[in-house]
A and B are shown apart, each in its own frame.
Chain A
Amino acid sequence: MRSLVFYIVSILVGAALFGFARWLGNDYLFFAGYTVLQFIVLATAWNILGGYCGYVNFGSAAFFAAGAYSSVALHKLAAGIDRYVPESLAGLAHTILPLPIPVLIVIGGIVAGLIGLGTGYLTLRLRGAFFAIATLALAVVLQTLIVNWDFVGGSRGAYIIRPSEVPIIGSYIQYLFLIMLVLSILAIIAARAIEQSRLGYGFATIRDDETAAEACGVPTLRLKLIATTLSGALMGMAGAPFPYYIGYLEPGSAFGLAYTVNSIAMPMIGGTTSWVGPLVGALLLGTLQQIATVTISSAVNLLIVGLLLVGFVIVAPKGIVGLVQDFMRERGPEGSEPTWRTRLATFANMRPGAR
């Protein structure tokens, strides 16, 4: 019942946001808003693995770029379809091509999810730090592969010519904004659902004490693989529409360090234990950066993000959400914070797939 209310409220908020932006009618608002929404998806995705399981992913940019480049590859494939398939099939192909963006998002998600699964499978059986390091290296290697892959433009980059109009909605940037809005709402709903499900309690036992969880019979490896796949897939989904947004994609921008830093900094600053944290962090930092990029410079705004990350990690490890919670607890009656034991008990008592 509470979930139903949550779904309705989030859809209403989304609709209100879109309606308000249209009412203002400024295209720049949609451009800037798209970036902030994209960061909401990235931060939420990072938090599924980083916040819930306690495994740090430094390769957000790699997963993001995997989604973006799978779109580029499909776009190029569609553009040259007559050369690759016999004429009889080309007619059929033209009826479904070019692929609509929601389909590209699904494909980008699958590609990035598989990469996540593969990386996780090779490194997650070891200590947590190895996964973090492997994801760092993953970004460098995927970038090397893309730079050497001429079909998607190599180091020169690829131009994507996007249609200027779409039916019903009108301007293309509004269409992209709407897609990203829907995606971010879906991401938040998914994160919240995970948090309250058996899966989420399993993740939390891993974060709190992995060895003990393993000893108590929590299938840690399987849970971690689910988390890496989900998290990677969501990042890829955030990246899939990106080539259409930017119009010209080159490896340097798709693998930009800004994505990695932001998708770590936003949940860390917002608070990592619930879906609210990444949302708050992304809204705050994303908006701040949009303002700073326009008023100061893009290098300075990255410096601000870095310093905020270091500062929050040292001073306020629970993020803004944690600060607010502590503040409320001081005022109100003593709340009962779930301990590791209660989480494990909840995990054990819930039927698989239960809420």
Chain B
Amino acid sequence: MSFELLINALIAGVLLGGFYAAVTVGVSISFGILDIVNIAHPAFIILGSYIAYIVNQTLGIDPILTAILALPAFYLLGSMIYQVYYASFEKRGQDSLRGLAFFFGLLFVTEVMLILVFGVDYRYVQAAYIDKTWHFGFADIPFRMLVPCVISLLMLGLLQLYLSRTFTGRAIMAVSQDQLALRLMSADPARIKRIAFSISIATAAIAGAFLIVIQPVEPSVGREYIGRVFAICVLGGLQSLPGTVIAAMLLGILESVTATFYGPSWAPAVSFGVLLLTLAFRPAGLLGR
């Protein structure tokens, strides 16, 4: 009996991990690669959830399809935010303290705006696959977890290809290491950073759609993801996307096992424990150098 529970917890953990990878990849790019501590990322994810919700309610379009259609809008939003961040903090060379406060303010303003517009009720979406489940013997695979997991891994694979194969992608990987060398390759560091940051915000649209497919959403849900996202990002070694996926799976499994055997109210504590232990014993992360 408890063996079956364990297997189900492991499956749920892996599926959850796939979703966490999509949530974290934006932070892996902004914090890990660009060194921009974007703690407002979860708020943009919730924004993505609400956009998927509105379109799903009014037009009946699939939430994940909506997110893909909303990618350009989120890319533009990311560009604008980076432009403000660059002009006010990076250029003046005081990005650490005030940059953090800036993103914290953004997080807070986004959340309060969503509360003012939509209230604090839980919202959910409808799609054909949400209520379906595959049964293999005693193991259950719910589609509302499987679909986000598969698409998320696909998205991370594409991003990894982009970062390792294209010129712009490689420039993004290099921008935080040596800006002068980048200039010598005739690439403008500010432009490269803007592109990368915009991509990171764009992933929030997709992650938001996943989130509202998986669970009902209200504006303050995002806060639970801050600790989680950074725990995964640090554990994964900050700038490595494969590391992000592995760390996300690991945390997903840990949380799911904890929830199964100790009760779901303890699950949020797992990420903090992981974060603190990683910072204390292996700050370079699993795949870090």
Contact = CB atoms under 8 A, between A and B. Distances in A.
Decide if A and B are genuine partners. Answer: yes
Contact of A134 (B96, B113, B268, B275): B275
A303 to B, nearest CB: 5
B245 interface: no
A314 B92 CA distance: 11
**Most central of A126, A133, A268, A305 by chain B CB within 10 Å:** A133
A interface, over-half SS? helix
A41 interface: no
A132 B104 CA distance: 11
A144 interface: yes
Contact of A130 (B104, B112, B279): B279
Contact of B108 (A56, A128, A141, A309): A309
B6 interface: no
Given A133-B230, A148-B266, A306 B39 contact: no
Given A144-B268, A299-B112, A303-B112, A317 B227 contact: no
A123 B280 CA distance: 7
A310 B234 contact: no
Contacts of A134: 272, 275-276, 279
Nearest to A154: B265
A305 B105 CA distance: 9
B242 interface: no
B interface, over-half SS? helix
B224 A268 contact: no
Nearest to A297: B116
Contacts of A147: 265
Contacts of A128: 96
Interface string B217-236: 00010011011001100100
Nearest to B120: A299
Nearest to B283: A126
A264 interface: yes
A58 B104 contact: yes
B108 A136 contact: no
Nearest to B110: A306
A122 B101 contact: no
Interface string B105-132: 1101101110110000000000000000
Contacts of B273: 141
Interface of B: 31, 37, 39, 84, 88, 92, 94, 96-98, 100-102, 104-106, 108-109, 111-113, 115-116, 220, 223-224, 226-227, 230-231, 234, 265-266, 268-269, 271-273, 275-276, 279-280, 283
Interface of A: 50, 54, 56, 58, 122-123, 126, 128-130, 132-134, 136-138, 140-141, 143-145, 147-148, 155, 257, 261, 264-265, 268, 272, 299-300, 302-303, 305-307, 309-310, 313-314, 317
